């Protein structure tokens, strides 16, 4: 890489960073930057950029993606914003820009490495098991290597990195969901997919450890969602056996138990890392229960179109057809996305993401509480409090 040509910029950047860090009283931000790893739940445009020349264009690059908030597709798998967008906004930051965003990534303060379709594990793991990765096959390790490239522009040595990372909030995930999605949707049975969980959790743990070794001190690690409530899973695993469904939510029970199993192992791993690194704050973000509180009382949150049916998709009971994705010409599209939780079968709508982010920022779905950490920095409440 042409490191020498970047030196003037690095130098300029380093002096700016120092200035910001040495004058914390002049900023009401809880963190100076947000760094994000993950998949489509958090991708703010990496996959769109990476796949810009692909033919046919990926579904998330097509209208109506983005229609509710940005008025055009941004590469986000939503009609609008993602959970990470609401978190960034609430913490007083601009939206976290994708690392692959067209040339100005050296000057980014916050940076997003999440990619639609990304997996925790390497693609060799899936090849051995005959599982295809239909979208970009980018692993957590690949994202971490982009991160190291990015970091090399923040300074020459470990104390420079530490200074940058010390004041960052690092979001590790959600990641791992696709490792399971790809396997389940390609016919693997639950016993086999369940056997992946310890390896996926260990991989997430290794990345967290490496981030801590580089200097990260505040990390937030989300668990998996209740996948048994996802329109895509409800379609693929549709069954006449009523006992398989939760009678209050209509979600598939065994799939939700699967997600909880992943989350239990993940939390155990986080506890282990917390003990090794008591100086760090590792926040578990309980995406599962934050989403469940919406699925349990959808009307309370305005989801009168239903909690389980997708707003945009190829028709059928849950408006999901695996050969007609949202964005494709034959897909059907709801009139009022804000009355739906599910956008395209797999992802949340703008408004559902907003609620989940609110629960994380203001409620009890983060351990330790993200809100409390930021209150100590006297952060002023933003989007939700006025």
Ligand X SMILES: *[C@@H]1O[C@H](CO)[C@@H](O)[C@H](O)[C@H]1NC(C)=O
Question: Could you list the active site residues?
Answer: 40, 344, 347
Is 54 among the residues that bind ligand X (CB under 6 A)?
no
Nearer to ligand X, 11 or 63 (CB): 11
Is 100 among the residues that bind ligand X (CB under 6 A)?
yes
Q: How far is the CB of 340 from ligand X (least distance, A)?
A: 19
Number of residues engaging ligand X in binding (CB under 6 A): 30
Q: How far is the CB of 103 from ligand X (least distance, A)?
A: 4
Task: Name every residue whose Cβ is closer than 8 Å to that of residue 199 and which is 6 or more positions away in sequence.
Answer: 121, 125
Pick from 16, 52, 156, 186 the residue near ligand X by CB under 6 A: 156
Pick from 5, 55, 103, 385 the residue near ligand X by CB under 6 A: 103
Q: How far is the CB of 137 from ligand X (least distance, A)?
A: 4
Pick from 160, 269, 344, 350 the residue near ligand X by CB under 6 A: 160
Which listed range, 62-70, 125-133, 270-278, 292-300, lies at the site for ligand X (CB under 6 A)? 125-133
Pick from 23, 241, 323, 378 the residue near ligand X by CB under 6 A: 323
Cβ neighbourhood burial of 191 (10 Å; 0-12, 13-18, 19+): exposed
Pick from 20, 21, 62, 133 the residue near ligand X by CB under 6 A: 133
Nearer to ligand X, 62 or 324 (CB): 324
* 324-363: contacts with ligand X (CB under 6 A): 324, 330
Pick from 16, 52, 71, 149 the residue near ligand X by CB under 6 A: 149
The residues binding ligand X (CB under 6 A) are: 7, 10-11, 14, 49, 99-103, 105, 123, 126-127, 132-133, 137, 149, 155-157, 159-160, 314-316, 321, 323-324, 330
């Amino acid at each position: 890489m042409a490191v020498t040509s970047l030196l003037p910029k690095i130098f300029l950047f380093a002096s700016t960073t120092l200035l910001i860090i040495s004058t914390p009283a002049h900023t009401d931000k809880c963190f100076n930057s947000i760094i994000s790893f993950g998949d489509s739940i958090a991708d703010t445009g990496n996959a769109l950029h990476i796949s810009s020349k692909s033919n046919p264009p990926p579904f998330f690059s097509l209208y109506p993606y983005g229609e509710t908030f940005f008025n055009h597709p941004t590469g986000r798998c939503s009609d609008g914003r993602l959970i990470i967008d609401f978190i960034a906004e609430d913490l007083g930051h601009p939206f976290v820009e994708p690392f692959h965003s067209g040339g100005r990534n050296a000057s980014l303060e916050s940076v997003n490495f999440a990619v639609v379709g990304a997996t925790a594990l390497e693609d060799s793991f899936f090849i051995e098991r005959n599982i295809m990765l239909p979208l970009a096959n980018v692993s957590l390790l690949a994202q971490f290597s982009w991160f190291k490239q990015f970091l090399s522009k923040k300074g020459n040595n470990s104390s420079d990195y530490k200074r940058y990372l010390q004041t960052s909030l690092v979001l590790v995930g959600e990641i791992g969901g696709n490792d399971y999605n790809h396997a389940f949707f390609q016919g693997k049975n639950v016993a086999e997919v369940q056997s992946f969980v310890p390896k996926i959790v260990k991989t997430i743990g290794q990345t967290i450890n490496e981030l801590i070794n580089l200097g990260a001190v505040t990390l937030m690690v989300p668990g998996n969602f209740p996948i048994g409530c996802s329109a895509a899973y409800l379609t693929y695993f549709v069954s006449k056996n009523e006992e398989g469904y939760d009678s209050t939510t209509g979600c598939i029970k065994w799939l939700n138990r699967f997600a909880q199993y992943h989350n239990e192992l993940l939390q155990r791993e986080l506890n282990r890392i917390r003990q090794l690194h008591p100086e760090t704050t590792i926040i578990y973000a309980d995406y599962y229960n934050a989403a469940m509180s919406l699925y349990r009382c959808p009307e309370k949150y305005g989801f009168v179109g239903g909690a389980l049916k997708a707003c945009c998709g190829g028709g059928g009971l849950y408006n999901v057809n695996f050969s007609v994705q949202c964005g494709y010409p034959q897909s059907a599209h709801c009139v009022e996305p804000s009355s739906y939780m599910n956008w395209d079968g797999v992802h949340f709508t703008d408004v559902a993401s907003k609620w989940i982010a609110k629960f994380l920022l203001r409620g009890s779905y983060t351990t330790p509480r993200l809100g409390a950490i930021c209150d100590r920095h006297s952060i002023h409440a933003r989007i939700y409090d006025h």
